[in-house]
Each structure stands twice: as C-alpha cells, then as structure tokens.
Structure 1
Amino acid sequence: MDLREFLLWEQATRDCIDVKKIYVDMADDLVAGILLSQIVYWNLPSKQGKTKLRVEKDGYLWLAKGREDWWDECRIKPRQFDTAFKKLEEQGLVEKKTFKFNGDPTIHIRILWDKFLPRLQELLYQLEVAATVSVEEEANHETLDFAGFYKSVKTDLQAQTLENTGFHESVKTESQIREIEITNPLIPLTENIYIDSKIEREREERTDAAFPPAQSDKQLEEEYELLKEIACRIFGMPRAEQVDIESIWNHWHNRFPQYDLTHLYAVMRATQQTARIRDDLTGIIVKRLPNAKAALVPVKQQAMDYIASLRREAKRA
C-alpha cells in the first residue's frame, strides 16, 4: 500500500465507531466511556423507529451480550469489560443480570434511565455554562483590546514611521492633524475644569448605577424569607432541610451582590433537576453561583414570574 492507497482507504473505510465525548465524561474513563457509548447505541431505535433490543425480563428490555462479544464491536477485551462495567455500575448508570439466551447463561445489560438522564443533563448544563463564560471572557478581552487600540497605534506609528509607509499624502496629513487636535494644549483652564467635572460626574453616575443604595433591614429580611420559600418549593420537604440557606445567603451577598432572587431561583432549579439523593445540595448551589447569570438565561421569564408571584403572596399574608 502506498500513500495514495492509504488515503483512499482512510476516506472509504467504515471500520469505525461513534463515541460522544460526553459519555467518556459520564464514565470518567475512556474505555468505560466507549462501552457506555455502545450500550447507548443498542438502546437507540433503528432507522425504522423500532427497538434493537429483543429480550424482555422483569418488565424491562435488556441487551444480551457476553464479555467476549465486545471485542469485534469496539475492541474491548473481556477483562477490560469487567473493569469498565464496574465503573459504570458504581456511577449508577447501568446494571447487569445473567439470564439464559439461546440456552446459555448470558450477561444482560440495561441502562438505568432514572440515573443516566439526570447525569447527562448535569454535564450538558456544565458544558453550556463553560461555553457561555468562555464567550463572555473572549468578548471582554476583545473590548479591552479595542479600548487600547489608539494608544498602541500612536505609540508604534510615530511621525517618522508615517514618512516611510508609502501612504497617500492626504492620509498622512489627516493623521498628523488629528494628533495635533488630540494633544492640543491650548484649551482654556476653565474649560479643562468643566471637562474634568463632567467626566467625574459621569463616573459617579456609572458607579451609582452599578452599586444601588443598600437595602433596608426590612427588605433584607423579606429577601431572606423569600429565599427560604424558594428552596422549600423547589426541593420540597424534607429535602429542603438539607439546604443551608444561611450559607447560601452569605455567599450570595458577600460575593455576588449583583445577583437577585431570579438568579438564585435558576441555580436552585438546575440543581433540583440534576442532583442525586446523596449530593450536597448546598455545596452544589454555592459552586454554581458564579455562573448564575448564564443559568438564568433560558428560564429568565419563568424566574421573574415566579418571584413576582412569591412577593404577591408574601404581601397578602
């Protein structure tokens, strides 16, 4: 085989498997992720919309496939299968039982959808948040670059450099005139004072907008009670008792005072949808607070309506 034949073979071969990276993330292991991906494949409908699974036991459909059967499919050896499947079982994603198949005891596998789907949703949420934060950071970086553009150009392109650029005379003249206008020292002193005062006033206005007046003690107490009510309604009792409202409150107001109750609603809602029974709800909520802005985007209107409804109920009480 020469290079040309290799390239043709590489382009034409169908000797491959499709593995989504998120399955590797779910399994926290490459081989286990490949195995999970193949198990998912067998649970997907065929092109005709029919199930590929043929064995029904204990009220569930099962995939009948032994330890030795995975090598031809995805190059997983029997001992690798044992180790990888154990990792998936520890994650609560799958289970296996031994039933007779074609007269022989055979391993039967099924996905535990009640654990699989929340775990998948949680990882997808984390990826979405990470992508949103990355875009925001990139936008901020571009803004900073643009803000410093004139300074870098002025520093690098001195008058003698312009002489050597070959620019049309009108371009050079306009650049020089603009620099004279910018650096002109002949502005009257009173006008300088006026400009400085205006700049300072605008700066103060921006600061006031970013940092609104402190809330009164009564308002803070009302917010705290609403936060407790949100936790009770989202998580229900007795699970809401696992949420340390005081810790979340302090973390919110000390580190993220720019957020409001709609952000907390979005974070708690996402946590309720993805957290497992033994998970530390308080820890998850605190960990997600830095990304509350992104979490709010898909449920913003719902969050606003929800908080408004709680406020109305509190006033009537």
Structure 2
Amino acid sequence: MSYSYRDLGLENTRSMFRNAMEGKYAVPAYNFNNLEQLQAIIMGCAQSRSPVILQVSKGARNYANSALLRHMAMGAVEMAHATADIPIALHLDHGDTFELCKDCIDNGFSSVMIDGSHLSFQENKELTKQVVDYAHRYDVTVEGELGVLAGIEDDVSSEVSHYTNPDEVEEFVKYTHVDSLAISIGTSHGAFKFQPGEPVPPLRFDILEEIERRIPGFPIVLHGASSVVPRYIDIINAHGGVIEGAMGVPEEQLRQAAASAVCKINIDSDGRLAFTAGVRQAMAEDPSNFDPRKYLGPARELLQELIIHKNQYVLGSANRV
C-alpha cells in the first residue's frame, strides 16, 4: 500500500525554497531518531514560527521503523498546527539507492535526497534522473549532490572532501531536473570538522557565487553545517563524557550562506550533542533516577533551545510563517 505525503499533512520543499530565496534565509533541516528529538524540533520551530524539514537518514529509518515514522510525521503535523501553522516536510537524507528513495516516496515522504556523489559524474546523473522521474509522478521533490564532504555521520563517510565543480552544475541540473542541489564548499559531516589549534578555514564562497552565476535562482543545500556549540561539549565532558577536539562551522559563515542561494541547511551533530548533554547532566545530577522521562525530558528542552537559537540567529528562518 502506498501513501501520499498530502495524506500525512506534509508539504514538499518547492514553495519552502522559493520563499527562502526571496526572503534571504535558509529552511532548517533537522535530523531526528526518536520521539523526544522530534518533539523538540516541532516545538522549537512552532515557537519560533519557522518552516522545517524533518530529516531521516537511512540508518534512522531502520532504527525507527518506516511505518512508525509515517505515523510520527502525522503526529508531528498535528502537534505543530495546534500551536502554529508551519509548513513541514519529511525528507530522506542521503538516500543511496533508487529502491530506498522509492520506498520512502511510497511511504509518504514529501522529499528525498539521492546521493550519487560517490559515483562518476555520468553515473550520478543517471541515478539522480531515475529517482527524479519516479518522484515527480507524485509531486515529491528531489535533492541531488555534486561534490563530496569529508567526515563521518551515520551511514555517510569520506576521508577527504572534493569541492563541487561549478562546470558540472548546469549539465547536472538540466539533465536530471532535480529540485535542489547539495554542494561542497568546505563544510563536513560530524563533530570533528577541523584541526584543533588551527584557524578554521572559511567556506569557499567563491565556489558558491560561481554556482549561483551558473544556475541563477536554483535552490542550493549545505550539508555538514553544525557549529558544534562549545556549551554542549562542556556539559558532556563535565558529566562523564570524553569529546576532545570537536569543532564546527562558525555561525556567522552559515548566516552569510543563508542570505545567498543556500535555502536549506542541514543540522544533525549539533542536535545530537545538545540531546546527549541533557541526558548526561540529568543522569549525573540524580544517579538514582531510572525514569526515562526525567532524563529525556531535560535533553528535549536543551535541543528545543538550540533549535530556536538556530532559527532566529543563524538560519534567519524564525517568524517567516
């Protein structure tokens, strides 16, 4: 049995991106794995009146179960609309096969990413076009990728990064009819993006500007854009954790990107760090506690605070609906 994203109360990303480009902000794309993370994302975005893309990786989908995810998405829409009528999309992050993307589309996802960046340029085009041809039958939007980000996050890993080649973007977009394009300009997956003690290299805005020139008005996506907020690292390490040398993308650079053609910014590691900080602190302060609500609740609150901050001060998406 197939499900339409409209039946779940979701939206695809087409109008979200159009509004973001006109308003010079980026739509937040937050990854989640469990109920409390989803609650924090919805409450934070509803409170800050921000559109939101709920992201699920292949690994998270396997962890949560596809049927349960579908019902969680329906509940998220109902929960949000009780507070604010914000647009919500459900997006597959880093889909790596046509079959996975098709299954997500058939289960009510309103947007999917097909990541063929590890393939040759021609193979990437062919795979992306195959997904687009199927997705567009159901008005589901598709994100492709050119360039490779370094780092490790969930099922995605690469030891080195390869910047997106602006010479390839026009042909890729024209051939595939993809709806948005993830590019590599210096961000990376995970919490260890740069070498400690060394200056953080600026994002390659020159590449972004050239891509904008080649495909004017086309929605651009940044992956690996967590800032690795020191506050959460400090809380984790103060309560039994050992995270050393974690560094992220400066928030001011992300805000600059959000004011350009970048209309979607992915955030995963920051959410994990905030949530872990809340759990560790709650359990350390009350070692006798064995009620999950009493350590997952504080974690949810920290994550909600992070999301409101990101929407207001980094992505510029707050008060846009």
Same fold (TM over 0.5): no
Please give the TM-score of this superposition, normalised by the length of structure 2. Answer: 0.22
Larger Rg belongs to:
1
Q: Point out the structure with the larger helix share.
A: 1
Higher strand share: 2
Between 1 and 2, higher relative CO (CA 8 Å, sep ≥ 6) is seen in 2
- TM-score normalised according to structure 1 size: 0.22
